[in-house]
Structure 1
Amino acid sequence: MSKRVLVVDDAAFMRMMIKDILTKNGYDVVGEAVDGTQAVDKYQELHPDLVTMDITMPEMDGIEALKRIRSIDPNAKVVMCSAMGQQAMVIDAIQAGARDFVVKPFQADRVLESIRKVLG
């Protein structure tokens, strides 16, 4: 059974890029969210195996969404996605329970390596 992934990013183009990388490599993108609030709701609804989460988003940022998802499911597997120059936020994300992070712009092999590592 293919692994189920929730893609969270406020930029449609970024969601499309990740979705494309994942589906071409046998992952099942079960949902998308445009902000942290939606991410938490979709996580509860879909119970994905993994979440790719942008850090900077409107409504609720990725770090707050990560904390809420981890409070619902302490075993949640979340890979953070951030632009260059957000090192401090990446550290916050790892401390909040993110399993890994990928830097934008995405390199397909780096995204896949991260996801394989996190899913074991």
Structure 2
Amino acid sequence: MHETMDNSTPDAHGARILIVDDQPANVSLLEQVLAQAGYTNVSSTMISTEVCALHRKNGYDLILLDLQMPGMDGFQVIEGLKTNDRDAYLPVLVITAQPGHKLRALQAGVRDFISKPFDLTEIKMRIRNMLEVRLLYRRLEGYSKRLEEAVAERTAELRESEARYRSLTELASDWYWEQDELGNFTRVSGPVLEMLGIRVDGFASSAQQETLEGWNAAERSALQEAIEARRPFLDYVFTRTESDGTVQKFQVSGEPVFGPGCQFLGYRGIGVAVRSRE
């Protein structure tokens, strides 16, 4: 069978061409014309019902299709070829002696046509032009596929990196947290409720924090100012005084997160309880 062509370096003279005609004389003439023009990968069939299966198997770059054939005419073949999901470009150049068939064929999705009786100069020109477009289309498909693969690979790498980051930060801290652009917690890992004595959603905004007792207002205000300014903060210490006079200290670090368009997405960071050395 035919060798598979590298889509990244298309060569028109090595393009896979199929001639479909029930007249041996027409097949022979087209084969001679293509050979003289330098095309080396040409095959033919006089059985129209074989065309769709052959195209699925070999992926032709160009199909020269006679419209008037017994059993299954050219228009039926065209409809069958259009069911090939992997090929968005219909590589069909129809052959017809009926002027009325030309418009119908173009409306059916074919790219061009050759008129009977044959004009050899016209045949060569139309075949060459169509193959140039076809092979450039294949090159674009190959580029798009490689780009999609590169994006998918990069996305997987970023997700893996993010997973490693979260794992390490969770191991190195008492809790890991993420907030959205409104200050609402979207992810928290660790015993925040037990350590801080507040619910996570109560930590979301300065208005909610005003209702909490025992927190150092100046420290909270400074932290809130850094967050509103979208600044990172490292090892920021804030305190809470219990009703019995016991002072608890917590240390947090956070960084703002921005999207591809530099839009602010929120914060993420870690926190630890500062243990007494007594």
TM beyond 0.5 = yes
The letter of the residue matching 2:112 is D
Q: State which structure, 1 or 2, has the greater radius of gyration over its C-alpha atoms.
A: 2
Shift of 1:90: 1.5
Distance across 2 between alignment mates of 1:74 and 1:38: 20
Higher mean Cα deviation, 23-32 or 100-109?
23-32
Counterpart of 1:79 in structure 2 is 93
Q: Are residues 1:43 and 2:50 paired?
A: no
Aligned-pair distance for 1:39? Answer: 1.5
Residue-pair matches, total: 118
Letter of the aligned partner of 2:27 in structure 1? R
Q: Which has the higher contact order (CA 8 A, sep 6+)?
A: 1
C-alpha displacement at 1:40, in angstroms?
Answer: 1.5
Residue 89 of structure 2 is aligned to residue 60 of structure 1: no
Moved beyond 6 Å, runs of 4+? none
What amino acid sits opposite 1:31 in the alignment? S
Q: Using the alignment, how far apart are the partners of 2:38 and 2:78 within structure 1?
A: 25
* 8 Å contact from structure 1 (residues 55, 81) kept in 2: yes
Shift of 1:29: 4.1
Contact persistence 1:36–1:60 (CA under 8 A): yes
CA distance in 2, matches of 1:24, 1:89: 29
The separation in 1 between residues aligned to 2:52 and 2:40, in whole angstroms, is: 19
1:90 to 102, 108, 112: 102
CA distance, structure 2, for counterparts of residue 97 and residue 50 of structure 1 = 14
Asked if the contact 1:11–1:34 (Cα under 8 Å) also holds between the matched residues in 2, the reply is yes
Task: Specify every segment of 5 or more residues in structure 2 that has no aligned partner in the other structure, as ranges.
Answer: 1-10, 133-278
Deviation at 1:62, TM superposition (A): 0.8
Distance 1:29 1:63, change over 3 A: farther
The answer to whether 1:110 aligns with 2:113 is no
TM-score, normalised on structure 2? 0.41
Q: Which residue is equivalent to 1:32?
A: 44
Q: Please tell me the root mean square deviation across aligned C-alpha atoms, in Å.
A: 1.4
C-alpha contact 1:49 1:76 (8 A) present in aligned 2: no
1:9 aligns with 2:13: no
Q: Is the 8 A contact 2:31 2:42 kept in 1?
A: no
Whole-Å Cα distance in 2 between the matches of residues 33 and 20 of structure 1?
15
Conservation of the 8 A alpha-carbon contact between 1:33 and 1:42: no
Per-residue CA distance 1:78-97 (angstroms, 9 max, x = gap): 100011xx122221111111
Mapped to 1, the partners of 2:41 and 2:104 lie a distance apart of: 26
CA distance in 2, matches of 1:49, 1:28: 13
* CA-CA distance at 1:11 after TM superposition: 0.4
Name the SS of the counterpart of 2:110 in structure 1: coil
Q: Classify the secondary structure of the residue corresponding to 1:38.
A: helix
**1:19·1:29 contact (CA, 8 Å) conserved in 2?**
no
Secondary structure (helix, strand or coil) at the match of 2:102 reads: helix
